[in-house]
Amino acid sequence: MTSFSRHALTGLWLLVLAVVLTALKPLLPPVLDRLPVWHPIWSHYLDTWFDWLQNDLGLIHVTRLAASGLGFLIDVAANLLYGKARWPRLEAIPWSTVAALAAVAGYYLGGWRLALLAGGTFTWCALMGQWKWTMETMSVIVIAAPFGFLIGLLLGIWSWKSSRVESVLRPVLAVLQTLPFFTYLLPAVIFFKVGPTAASVATIVYAIPPMILMTAVGLKKVSSDVVEAGKMSGCTRWQMLTRVYLPAARTEILIGLNQVIMLSLAMVVLTAFIGMPGLGAKLLAMMNSFKLGRSVEIGITIVLLAVTLDRLSKALVVKQPEHFEKGTPWWIRHQAWLVAGGVFVFFTALGRMVPFFNEVSRSQSLSVGSEIDDVMKAVLDWDPIQAVTGFLRYFFNVWVLVPTENALLYVPTFGLIAAITGFCWLMGGARPAIIGFVFFTAVAVLGWWDRAMLTLHSTVTATLLAVIIGMPLAIWASRSEKATRRMIYVCDTAQTFPSFIYLLPAIMLFGITPVTVILAILIYTMVPVVRYTIEGLRGVPAEMTEAADMSGATRWQKLVNVQLPLAMPTIAVGLNQALMFSFFMVIIAAFIGTRDLGQEMQRTLAGTDLGKNFTLGFSVVLMAITFDVAINAWAEKKRKLLGL
């Protein structure tokens, strides 16, 4: 106990120091208030280094070579999917064929409902006149996802085999997973030419980390009995890997595949920022010109696509091989493939004969974008709604966002560093505190301090709001079995949506204002908060709550004294994820018009300022990892204390 309080004391002293530094700001030597703006120097060094890498080392030739290979594959996919004039110069596969094949896949993986979802999604895309954009997006996914899967699988196997590789990969993956996506994009553009190739490279890099982790986890989990049985059967190492380990780790590997696909979709949509055509680009354009109706339609397409891809790949995870009775004829054994073949031939022929099934022309499309626009304008202009949104906008802006933002900007740099160090110390002791101190000092040294503070401000504010709104919601839902199930279903579905989508409702309600940014982040980060709070509360053992009931605790007492404390480690995981999501989202929100790191990063995309892009990107990474470390340390400590 004494060690604990001494522990807390150090943290508190650091916080006091922060307050003192802030109070004495006018008296401080300027260097304690703000470090000089050093980022041009770093950018310059980085640029020189990149230049050396690119030209002197000749990396550009390597990447250009890889790009041409990748570009070729994407062109083939593009030709087949939407008839881009590239080799093999075939006609595009009719939309009806794609939709029917998706339905067949859905049926064999998960029955009629999935068939309906998969077939329906592609039919919707075609009928809404979005076929070409959808296929532009898909042509990158169908190439990037398999590459991401394979590379991730290989790296996963490697990191499982060699602990040295694992120890190198782990921090790299941690950085990759917090790296703002703009930082993926610019190098991709510079090293791989603009367009689909750069998009697919960024997508692959972005999608790989979870695949590596899942593969390694799955391989580690293979039961020793199975391994020993393999060895006693006289397997060579290669046979062990291919016939014992990989098949036995099937579930985790397929979960990895699911994540690769979902991240690919999320990233492909975002590559609109580097000129990748497709659904993302259209959505971006429509939102830019405030055509909300069309935006909503495209948003729905993206969501449908996400849900379909997610459900299909998840169905693949749970799909177990079934045996056939003896003497089952071959056409029943291979029914799925035969049906798919038949469907392909039939619909392709149909498409050639009836143009509607080949391509839905503009005049035939069912898009009602402008009508939706009208309706939405009418609704939003309706006085009560105007009053509410107006009030919220005013309230948050004037009473929440502006004052807190100004306060944060007022704090001297070293005051804030002291505060962060103290916070980390309170959370997890010396190690997180040291990390926090070093990382935030690094942010200061990198020289984007004010912008970093703005990023931090949006992130933390939105996450706190998500907690304030999300936790009660989750507590309410966890009361009943039914509400729990529904809420988890909603969260799981919402989690599959590409992050870009979350901007849409925010823009619809609040237009282009700072409140919109917060709202977009808020919606996005609420998902993990609600999800993990429910999970934590439901995971409290029944004996504990029953014991509380028997001691005559009221509901409130039970919640505060028993359920929440026990659920805290799990909730902390959700909180951590929420923060990571916010860091991600706040950068994307640059598009709405922020003044933070993201805005500056978005500007770099137009040029070749790799150095600047990286100093900005790493400012975000350093902040994100600090919180990640501190919260995880805290959750771990709590878990130990509770004996979980």
Partner 1 sequence: MDKKTPVISCRNVWKLFGPDPKQFLATLKPDASYENIRAQGYIAGVHNVSVDVGRGEMLVIMGLSGSGKSTLVRCMGRLHEVTGGEVLIEGEDIGKLDEDALINLRRRKMGMVFQSFGLLPHRTVLENVAFPLEMRGQDRHERRARALEVIELVGLAGREDYFPRELSGGQQQRVGIARSLAIEPDIWFLDEPFSALDPLIRREMQDEFLRLQNMLEKTIVFITHDFDEALRLADRIAIMKDGAIEQCDKPDQIVLNPATSYVAKFTEEIDKARVVHAGVLARPVNGIEVTGEPVSEASTIQSLARLLISDRRKLIPVAGKSGELVGVMDRQEALDVLLGSGS
Q: Which of residues 325-344 bind partner 1 (CB under 8 A)?
A: 325-326
Q: Which of 529, 520, 523 is nearest to 467 (CA)?
A: 529
| Smallest gap from residue 217 Cβ to partner 1 (A) | 17
Q: Is 243 in the site for partner 1 (CB under 8 A)?
A: yes
Q: Is 380 in the site for partner 1 (CB under 8 A)?
A: no
Q: Is 163 in the site for partner 1 (CB under 8 A)?
A: no
Residues 191 and 54: beta-carbon distance below 8 Å: yes
Q: Is 595 in the site for partner 1 (CB under 8 A)?
A: no
**Interface pattern 292-321 for partner 1 (x via CB under 8 A):** ----------------------------xx
Q: Measure the N-to-C terminal CA separation of the chain; round to a whole number of Å.
A: 20
Q: Which is nearer to partner 1, 326 or 482 (CB)?
A: 326
Q: Is 164 in the site for partner 1 (CB under 8 A)?
A: no
Q: Is 636 in the site for partner 1 (CB under 8 A)?
A: no
Residues near 146 by beta carbon (within 8 Å), at least 6 away in sequence: none
How far apart (Å, rounded) are the C-alpha atoms in residues 632 and 416? 21
Residues near 106 by beta carbon (within 8 Å), at least 6 away in sequence: 114, 115, 116, 117, 118, 119, 308, 311, 312, 315
**Interface pattern 544-583 for partner 1 (x via CB under 8 A):** ----------------------------------------
Q: Which is nearer to partner 1, 6 or 237 (CB)?
A: 237
How far apart (Å, rounded) are the C-alpha atoms in residues 169 and 172? 5
Q: Which is nearer to partner 1, 233 or 370 (CB)?
A: 233
| Smallest gap from residue 228 Cβ to partner 1 (A) | 5
The residue count for binding partner 1 (CB under 8 A) is: 27
Residues 415 and 406: beta-carbon distance below 8 Å: no
Residues near 270 by beta carbon (within 8 Å), at least 6 away in sequence: 181, 185, 280, 498, 499, 500, 588
Q: Which is nearer to partner 1, 241 or 368 (CB)?
A: 241
Helix, strand or coil for residue 302? helix
Q: Which of residues 209-238 bind partner 1 (CB under 8 A)?
A: 223, 225-237
Per-residue HEC secondary structure of 316-374 comes to HHHCCCCCCCCCCCHHHHCHHHHHHHHHHHHHHHHHHHCHHHHCCCHHHCCCCHHHHHH
Among 140, 190, 244, 501, binds partner 1 (CB under 8 A): 244
| Smallest gap from residue 225 Cβ to partner 1 (A) | 4
| Smallest gap from residue 28 Cβ to partner 1 (A) | 52
Rounded to 5 degrees, φ, ψ at 639 are: -60, -45
Q: Which is nearer to partner 1, 14 or 248 (CB)?
A: 248
| Smallest gap from residue 250 Cβ to partner 1 (A) | 6
Q: Which of residues 83-122 bind partner 1 (CB under 8 A)?
A: none
Residues 462 and 404: beta-carbon distance below 8 Å: no
| Smallest gap from residue 10 Cβ to partner 1 (A) | 33
- Residue 326 zone, left/alpha/beta (φ > 0; ψ -120 to 50; rest): beta
What token pair was written down for 341? 């073949």
Q: Is 29 in the site for partner 1 (CB under 8 A)?
A: no
| Smallest gap from residue 235 Cβ to partner 1 (A) | 5
Among 167, 239, 554, 557, binds partner 1 (CB under 8 A): 239
CB atoms within 10 A of CB 511: 14
CA angle 82/86/89 to nearest 5° reads 75
| Smallest gap from residue 254 Cβ to partner 1 (A) | 12
Q: Which of 204, 180, 172 is nearest to 67 (CA)?
A: 204
Q: Which is nearer to partner 1, 243 or 595 (CB)?
A: 243
Among 78, 104, 204, 248, binds partner 1 (CB under 8 A): 248
What token pair was written down for 51? 């230049």
| Smallest gap from residue 320 Cβ to partner 1 (A) | 7
Among 250, 538, 595, 639, binds partner 1 (CB under 8 A): 250
Among 36, 58, 247, 355, binds partner 1 (CB under 8 A): 247
Q: Which of residues 185-204 bind partner 1 (CB under 8 A)?
A: none
Q: Helices then strands (H, E): number in the chain?
A: 33, 0
Which residue ranges make up the site for partner 1 (CB under 8 A)? 223, 225-237, 239, 243-244, 247-248, 250, 320-326
